[in-house]
Every structure is written in C-alpha cells, then in structure tokens.
Amino acid sequence: AQRVTQPEKLLSVFKGAPVELKCNYSYSGSPELFWYVQYSRQRLQLLLRHISRESIKGFTADLNKGETSFHLKKPFAQEEDSAMYYCALSGRGETGANNLFFGTGTRLTVIP
C-alpha cells in the first residue's frame, strides 16, 4: 500500500541556514512525488514536482528510489519560507484509482 512519511512535525532553523524537510514513501509502482506548501492564511499550493526537476523559490527535491525518499532542500532559509509543507505521492490506491496521498506535514519556522 502507498504511504508517505514525514518524520518531523516541527522544524525550526535560523535565517540563512540550510534546511531539509524529510519525506519517505512506500509504493510498489513508479511513484510521482510532489511538495505542496501552505503559507499562513493562504491556500495549499503546489511547490514542486519531481518529474519537472525544477527549483522553485530556491527549493529542490531529488527522488531517491534506493532510499525511497524525496527530501526538500534549500541552502539558505528565508523568513518567508515559514509555512506548512506536505509531501504527496500520486499513485493507485486500494480502489484502483489514481489519487494523491499526503504525508502528515512539517511546519517549518525560520527564525530571524
């Protein structure tokens, strides 16, 4: 069965420090992985997807199939990065339909 694990509920870093938000997954097929972000008083929105191999707002995430991980990284954290981050996996669920499965989220706080 598909599963997304974000081991850290809370993560605090100082401004300018590197940040890494961990995400591990389990899925029997070939997964498609995403990071969604929810800033204070804003809607949940897509940050990046592994298939695009892009860098958004300085964030990158590499899919490591050997370690079944999709960690989100940024070399220098900014105060505006403070938000709730969700890792998500797109795959077939128990009903056979293709759906999006979310982790429990990590709240990142960047300390000035």
Partner 1 sequence: EAQVTQNPRYLITVTGKKLTVTCSQNMNHEYMSWYRQDPGLGLRQIYYSMNVEVTDKGDVPEGYKVSRKEKRNFPLILESPSPNQTSLYFCASSLLAVGSYEQYFGPGTRLTVT
What residue ranges bind partner 1 (CB under 8 A)?
6, 9, 32, 36, 43-46, 49, 51, 86, 90, 93, 95, 97-105
In the complex, the smallest distance separating the C-beta of residue 100 from partner 1, rounded to whole angstroms, is: 5
Residue with Cβ nearer partner 1 (19 or 48): 48
Nearer to partner 1, 1 or 112 (CB): 1
Measure the CA–CA gap between 45 and 67, rounded to whole angstroms.
26
Taking the C-alpha atoms of residue 74 and residue 51, their distance in angstroms, rounded to an integer, is 18
CB 18 within 8 Å of CB 73: yes
CB of 7 to partner 1, least distance (A): 13
Nearer to partner 1, 6 or 82 (CB): 6
Distance in angstroms (rounded) separating the CA atoms of residues 70 and 22: 7
Beta bridge partners of 92: 98
